[in-house]
Amino acid sequence: MPDVAIALSPLVIFAITQHGLSALWILLAAVLSMVLTEYLFYQVLDRLDKKPFKVKNDRFTLDNYTVLVSGLIYGLTLPDSTPLLITIIGGVVGVFLAKLVFGGMGQNIFNIAAFARVFVVLSFGAAAAYVNFVDETAGATALGLLMMEPFTKVETYSFWTMFSGIGLPGSLGETSGLLILVGGLYLLARRSFDVFIPLVYVGTVFVLSTAVMLQQGIGFWYPLTHIISGGLLFGAVFMATDPVTAPITRPGRVYFAFGLGVITFVIRLFGTLPEGVVFAILIMNMFVPALDYARWSNSRFTVRSGLIFAAVVALTILSVMVGASYVG
C-alpha cells in the first residue's frame, strides 16, 4: 500500500501545479476526512468495548496506508472546483458506508474511492451546478464533446494535451495519462498490483472502440481518444486494481477487467453520462463474489473456460457494433 501512495505522488504534484492551492485543499480535505472518520470510528468502538484509551489504538490502520490511499484516490477523482464541504461529506460517507460498516480493511465490497466519488456525483451533482460532473465541468472535456457528437473528431485538444494533461480540464489526477502510466510502471516494477487488470481493462475498451471505429469508418483517433481521456487510465491503474474489491484468481481478474471495459465503454457510448469508469467499477465489484464462487472459480484458465470467454468476447464486440449503428 505505501507503493500506491508513492505511485500517486507525481499525480498529486501535477494536480497542485496545474490547479494551484485549490487542489491541495481538496486533496487534504479528502484524505483527512477519510482518515479521521476511520480513526474516530475505531476509537468509538474501543469505548464501546470498554478498552482503555490509547492514542494509537489496535485497529489504527494508518500504519498500512490503506485509508490514506483511498483518500488520495478519492481526492484525485474530484474536479478542482469541488467545494470543500462536499469533499468532506463525500469522504466521511464514503469511508463509513463503503468500508467501516462492512468490517474495515479487507472486508469492503465496493471500492471506497469509487463509492465516495459516485456518492458525491449523485448527491451534489445538481446542487453544485455541475452539469457534466462525472467527468468535469470547468470546460467541456474530450469525452463531453464526444458525448454530444459521438463520432466527430475532437479538435479542441491535441493528443499530446490529452495524454500529458497539461492545460486539460478534468479531475485533479485523471487528466495526465503520462503520469498515471509512470505510476503504473512503478507499481508493476514493485509487483504491487496485478498487471492483468489494467491491461485487460484498457485492452477491452480499445478493442470495442476499434470495432466501433471500423463499423463507423472513422479514424484511429477514436479508440485513442477513448483510452487517453477521461478516468479510464486512472481507474484502470489505481481503482480497479484494488485487491480487496477484485477477484482472487487470475482468470477471475481477467473476467472482472473485461466486464469493467465493457461497462465503461457501453456507458460512454450509449449512456447519458460522458464517463463511466467509477460506475463500471462499482457494478463489477458486485460481481466479485460470483466470480470467486467456489463451484466454478479456478486458479487457471482451462480450455473450456477459455473457449467460453472467447465466445463471450466475440458476442460483445458484435453487439457493440450493432448497437453503434443506432447511435448518432
Partner 1 sequence: MISKMRRVSDYKQLTKELPHIRYVDPEKVYINLTTSRCEDYILNVKPGDAVRLGQILGEKDGCFFKQPIYSTVSGTVEGVEKKIDGTGIEVECLVIRNDFQDTYDASITDRPDNVIEQMSQQDFVDIVREKALVGLGGSGFPSYVKLATEEPIHTVVINAVECEPYLSSDYRLIHDQPDQIFQGLSYVMKAVNAKSGVIAVKKTKKDLINILEREVKRYAHLDLRIAKLGDYYPQGWEIETYKNALGIKVPSGVLPTKLGILGFNVSTCASIYDAVKHNMPITKRYLTINGDAVKFPQSIRVRVGTLIKDLIKLCDGFTDDAEKVEMIIGGPMMGQAVDTQEVVVTPTTTSVLVFKSITDKEEPCVRCGSCVINCPVHIQPVNIMNAYKRNDTLAMKQLEANKCIECGLCAYVCTSKIHVTDYVRKAKASIG
Residues that bind partner 1 (CB under 8 A): 64, 66, 104-107, 191-194, 243-244, 246-250, 253, 292, 294-295, 297-300
Nearer to partner 1, 50 or 300 (CB): 300
> What is the nearest approach in angstroms of partner 1 to the Cβ of residue 61?
9
Q: Which residues contact 128 (CB under 8 A, 6 or more apart)?
A: 82, 83, 86
User: Residue 245's closest CA among 304, 291, 303, 314?
Assistant: 291
Residue 28: Cβ-neighbour burial (10 angstroms; 0-12, 13-18, 19+): middle
Nearer to partner 1, 62 or 327 (CB): 62
Nearer to partner 1, 193 or 222 (CB): 193
* Residue position matching grid coordinates 473457449: 307
For 138, other C-beta atoms within 10 Å of its C-beta total 12
* Alpha-carbon gap, residue 200 to 232, rounded angstroms: 12
For 59, other C-beta atoms within 10 Å of its C-beta total 13
> What is the nearest approach in angstroms of partner 1 to the Cβ of residue 58?
9
CA distances from 74 to 117, 161, 215, 310 (A): 6, 23, 36, 34
Nearer to partner 1, 13 or 248 (CB): 248
Nearer to partner 1, 22 or 192 (CB): 192
Nearer to partner 1, 26 or 35 (CB): 35
* Residue position matching grid coordinates 486512472: 234
> What is the nearest approach in angstroms of partner 1 to the Cβ of residue 262?
22
DSSP, residue by residue, 48-86: HTTPPP-SS-TT-GGGGTHHHHHHHHHHHTSBTT--HHH
> What is the nearest approach in angstroms of partner 1 to the Cβ of residue 136?
31
> What is the nearest approach in angstroms of partner 1 to the Cβ of residue 100?
13
Written as nine digits, the cell of 249 is: 484468481
Nearer to partner 1, 192 or 210 (CB): 192
> What is the nearest approach in angstroms of partner 1 to the Cβ of residue 106?
4
Nearer to partner 1, 300 or 304 (CB): 300
> What is the nearest approach in angstroms of partner 1 to the Cβ of residue 159?
32
Instruction: Reduce the DSSP state of residue 123 to 3 states and report it.
Output: helix
What burial letters (b/e) apply to 102-137, b meaning 16+ CB within 10 Å? eebbeebebbbbbbbbbbbbeebbeebebebbbbbb
Written as nine digits, the cell of 12 is: 498529486
CA distances from 191 to 196, 263, 290 (A): 12, 27, 26
CA 205 to chain centre: 14
> What is the nearest approach in angstroms of partner 1 to the Cβ of residue 299?
5
Nearer to partner 1, 188 or 312 (CB): 188
> What is the nearest approach in angstroms of partner 1 to the Cβ of residue 244?
5
